[in-house]
Amino acid sequence: MVRVGVIGGGQLARMMIPAAVNLGIDLRVLAEADGMSAQLAATAVGDYHDVDVVLAFAKEVDVVTFDHEHVPQDVLRALVDAGIPVHPGPDALLYAQDKLLMRQKLSDLGLPVPVWARVETEADLQAFLDANGGHAVVKTPRGGYDGKGVRVVSAAHEASDWFTVLAEHGAGDALLVEELVDFRRELAQLSARRPSGELVLWPVVESIQRDGVCAEVIAPAPGFAIRIADVAAQIATDVATGLGVTGVFAVELFETADDRLLVNELAMRPHNSGHWTQDGSTTSQFEQHLRAVLDLPLGATGCTEPHTVMVNILGGPREGALSDRYPGAMSAHPTAKIHNYGKDPRPGRKVGHVNASGTELDVVAYEARAAAAFLQD
Amino acid sequence: MVRVGVIGGGQLARMMIPAAVNLGIDLRVLAEADGMSAQLAATAVGDYHDVDVVLAFAKEVDVVTFDHEHVPQDVLRALVDAGIPVHPGPDALLYAQDKLLMRQKLSDLGLPVPVWARVETEADLQAFLDANGGHAVVKTPRGGYDGKGVRVVSAAHEASDWFTVLAEHGAGDALLVEELVDFRRELAQLSARRPSGELVLWPVVESIQRDGVCAEVIAPAPGFAIRIADVAAQIATDVATGLGVTGVFAVELFETADDRLLVNELAMRPHNSGHWTQDGSTTSQFEQHLRAVLDLPLGATGCTEPHTVMVNILGGPREGALSDRYPGAMSAHPTAKIHNYGKDPRPGRKVGHVNASGTELDVVAYEARAAAAFLQD
């Protein structure tokens, strides 16, 4: 049986299990702890920062892939040096791990990005603000400085705490600053690429964020012009080939008020903007990811129904397990497809999502939103 | 987490795993041996004929259900006596376990069945043959006498070996004999019923048998008249309520040359004729079965695409694992959904199936058949 190793035991690893069962793939997960979301497929528990732990795990599988993008480069390089196939590989993941490197690379490739700069001091940031209308988005290039790492500022001192941390890290570190894009809406282009080159794209979707967290995805993006679809496809193709991405990846895009597309973020793994594919596309992103990292031919990416809407379920104030609310939700919404991550529903935490599909977007959106609200609130 | 216990580790238990992962249900399987198809969810290995083994397993779950219908009545009764919910229950399963009891019950309920008789001797059988055109189908009421237990005969002596076995079993045993129905095609009505009464029906499908084994299912059944659909729905409803069935069940039907429907067989579990629902219906039969046995509201049973065709994959003469043939099959058939049971592909054994869906039945049928043939031959 073909063996795929996944580093990380979160919900993305969990959602690979159904695809692995269907295709007869032996999915093995290196989880951070017992009782993680992907517990059923966890064959090892350990720290993914530890080269020895990861190497021992990787030697039992045919290919290594990921639930997240946080595995350190030295660990990734050790896997490659040991001759273990890793998808996406370290050279590609570098750009998902460091937003400054990503912005530089996309600019080098001539891809459309927001105006951006690398800023080492408050003075640098203030200069950027002065040149760009007085507002900007400051980002820590790597996770770890801050829970979110993204902040909208109107004055340089609003990021002074981050500059203080930078100074403590020594010379050479910097923040990323980007123009505050006047966007009409956010879109995402989900794609998959095999090591041998085949690339497929799903229809572009609209994603709706709430408090900086993905709340809802509408697939395909309503009223999405063919011309813009071609642009999104070309961007994803250039990203994949330019950065050497393998597996499923998502390009988050801004659609600007003046009809341009700008690359916002990249994710080199199955992504929240692609959860709709589980119930709305011929091939789910999780099956496709397994096919891609195994260098198997990719599946069809069309929609099975005209519209699918995905709504996230966050942990809320209500007590009890998500499944306690199944009777009411299922009774009122028989077309809703519930995905439960098996997580403790702490407030604000993504604990599941609902997909609904059908021919009338209004009805589909209502069903998905109402079922998710019932489960959440 | 809600816990569902499944007795039997075959492919039906295996295919409940994806639904359980999606819904956050703790699925626990009592497998007959190590390495069964449902290995990933196997939490116990033991003999389902052993009351103590089954009771110990059942005490760790909220409800017990089945991968097959062979659990002895005394074991089922012991579970009920211990206060453990069992779905379907022993009173219903009795009719799936004994074809003579089933025929008698269906006749008592006034449901349309082939002309049948209980025969204890060759003379009884010959009298039935003489009265019914000289041909008939003889069946052993329970598994065990013969691998298949179904034989078409034109003379009573063709079943003499079975009568010899009957005589060895002592008085009271009998065979079932049925008229050889002049059918146009075989249909199946898949349904699900909750203990609290809710009943849902999927569209009627056509099933095509080859050498007595289901080879292909076309959903919905082509050219299926509304009147006949109503009849099939009424039959399934009468069977469910009359026999007290809970969970997913299938009624296999003959569509006769003179436009009647006759009940052929019953299956009180997810069924091969319902595998198309995994990729072609809003709710798969495996998700529905879990919902039904947990007495949760049932999901929508509509088709996500106009046509879905399911083709079984049997173990063939070719050596090697099914997955060895993925590159060719996936490359030529990107819309094919492959379901691999993780079984050793011995000749004639069901080792997987392929579903294909779409708007043109000819295309869908070609894709499913060609992909399955590639994987099988």
CA-CA distance, A3 to A25, in Å (whole number)? 6
Nearest residue to B240 via CA among B283, B206, B197: B197
Is residue A336 within 8 A of residue A352, CB to CB? The reply is no
**How many residues are given for chain B?**
377
The domain locations on chain A are 3-86, 115-179, 183-376
Here the ipTM equals: 0.95
User: B320 in contact with A at a CB cutoff of 8 Å?
Assistant: no
Whole-number pLDDT of residue A318? 78
Sign of CA dihedral A107, A110, A111, A113: positive
Average the pLDDT over B136-149 and give the result: 74
β-bridge mates for residue B65, sequence order: B6
Whole-number pLDDT of residue A170? 67
β-bridge mates for residue A116, sequence order: A178
Q: Residues of A with CB below 8 A from B300's CB?
A: 334-335
Does the pLDDT value for residue B146 go beyond 80?
no
Q: Residues of A with CB below 8 A from B17's CB?
A: 17-18, 21, 40
Sign of CA dihedral B58, B64, B70, B74: positive
β-bridge mates for residue B7, sequence order: B30, B66
Strands (E), A194-342: 199-201, 205-210, 213-219, 247-256, 261-267, 307-314, 337-340
Sign of CA dihedral B53, B57, B58, B63: negative
**How many residues are given for chain A?**
377
Confidence at B145, pLDDT banded by 50, 70, 90: very low
Q: What does the block give as tokens for B113?
A: 């069945």
Give the pLDDT confidence of B301-323 residue by residue, as tens digits: 999 999 999 999 999 877 788 99
CA-CA distance, A141 to A177, in Å (whole number)? 10
Which residue, among A3, A15, A22, would best test binding to B if mutated, counting the most B CBs under 10 Å from its CB? A22
Nearest residue to B355 via CA among B340, B336, B373, B372: B336
In a 3-state reduction of DSSP, which class is residue A211? Answer: coil
Whole-number pLDDT of residue A147? 45
User: B353 in contact with A at a CB cutoff of 8 Å?
Assistant: no
Confidence at B88, pLDDT banded by 50, 70, 90: very high
Domain A183-376 homologous superfamily, CATH: ATP-grasp fold, B domain (3.30.470.20)
More confident residue, B13 or B144: B13
User: A207 in contact with B at a CB cutoff of 8 Å?
Assistant: no
Minimal-distance CA residue of chain A relative to B14: A21
Is residue A25 within 8 A of residue A31, CB to CB? The reply is no
The reply to whether A319 sits in an annotated binding site is no
CA-CA distance, B363 to B219, in Å (whole number)? 14
The reply to whether B181 sits in an annotated binding site is yes
Is residue B314 within 8 A of residue B321, CB to CB? The reply is no
In this complex, which of A24, A278, A322 lies closest to B342 when CB atoms are compared? A24
Does the pLDDT value for residue B104 go beyond 80?
yes
Residue B100 burial (10 A CB sphere; 0-12, 13-18, 19+):
buried
Q: Residues of B with CB below 8 A from A305's CB?
A: 304-305
CA-CA distance, A133 to A128, in Å (whole number)? 9
B150 vs chain A: nearest CA distance in angstroms? 32
Nearest residue to A155 via CA among A182, A177, A183: A177
- Determine, for residues A22 and B337 on separate chains, whether the beta-carbon distance falls below 8 Å: yes
Whole-number pLDDT of residue A142? 85
In this complex, which of B18, B297, B302 lies closest to A21 when CB atoms are compared? B18
Neighbours of B180 (CB within 10 A): 17
Is residue A251 within 8 A of residue A328, CB to CB? The reply is no
Confidence at B171, pLDDT banded by 50, 70, 90: low
Residue A191 burial (10 A CB sphere; 0-12, 13-18, 19+):
buried
The whole-chain average pLDDT of chain B stands at: 95
Whole-number pLDDT of residue B213? 87
Does the pLDDT value for residue B181 go beyond 90?
yes
Angle between helices A226-243 and A90-97 (to 10 degrees): 120
Minimal-distance CA residue of chain B relative to A279: B282
Minimal-distance CA residue of chain B relative to A339: B22
Average the pLDDT over B180-186 and give the result: 94
In this complex, which of A282, A330, A340 lies closest to B297 when CB atoms are compared? A330
Contacts of B265-270 spanning 24+ positions with Cβ under 8 A: B265/B99, B266/B95, B266/B96, B266/B102, B266/B239, B267/B69, B267/B96, B268/B66, B268/B69, B268/B88, B268/B92, B268/B93, B268/B95, B268/B96, B269/B12, B269/B65, B269/B66, B269/B67, B269/B68, B269/B69, B269/B88, B270/B12, B270/B15, B270/B16
Which residue, among B21, B27, B295, would best test binding to A if mutated, counting the most A CBs under 10 Å from its CB? B21
Edge-first strand order for the sheet with B42-45 is B42-45, B26-31, B3-7, B63-66
CA-CA distance, B184 to B256, in Å (whole number)? 5
Buried b (16+ CB within 10 A) or exposed e, A287-321: bbbbbbbbbbbbbbbebbbebbbbbbbbbbeeeee
CA-CA distance, B130 to B154, in Å (whole number)? 10
Give the pLDDT confidence of B245-273 residue by residue, as tens digits: 999 999 999 999 988 999 999 999 999 99
Does the pLDDT value for residue B196 go beyond 60?
yes
Whole-number pLDDT of residue B170? 66
> Please, which residues 279-318 of chain B have a Cβ atom closer than 8 Å to chain A?
282-283, 291, 296-300, 302, 304-305
Minimal-distance CA residue of chain A relative to B19: A18
State yes or no: cis peptide before B195, omega within 30 of 0: no
Q: Over chain A (377 residues), what is each successive 10-residue block's mean pLDDT?
A: 96 98 98 97 98 98 97 98 98 95 97 97 96 95 66 94 84 88 96 97 96 92 87 98 98 94 96 98 98 98 97 87 95 98 90 97 98 93
The reply to whether A198 sits in an annotated binding site is no
CB pairs under 8 A between A and B: 111
User: A134 in contact with B at a CB cutoff of 8 Å?
Assistant: no
Average the pLDDT over B116-143 and give the result: 94
User: Which class is domain B3-86?
Assistant: alpha beta
Is residue A37 within 8 A of residue A343, CB to CB? The reply is yes
A271 vs chain B: nearest CA distance in angstroms? 17
Number of H helices, E strands in chain A: 12, 17
CA-CA distance, A22 to A287, in Å (whole number)? 9
For the domain made up of A115-179, give the CATH fold.
Dna Ligase; domain 1 (3.30.1490)
Whole-number pLDDT of residue A52? 98
Angle between helices B11-23 and A11-23 (to 10 degrees): 160
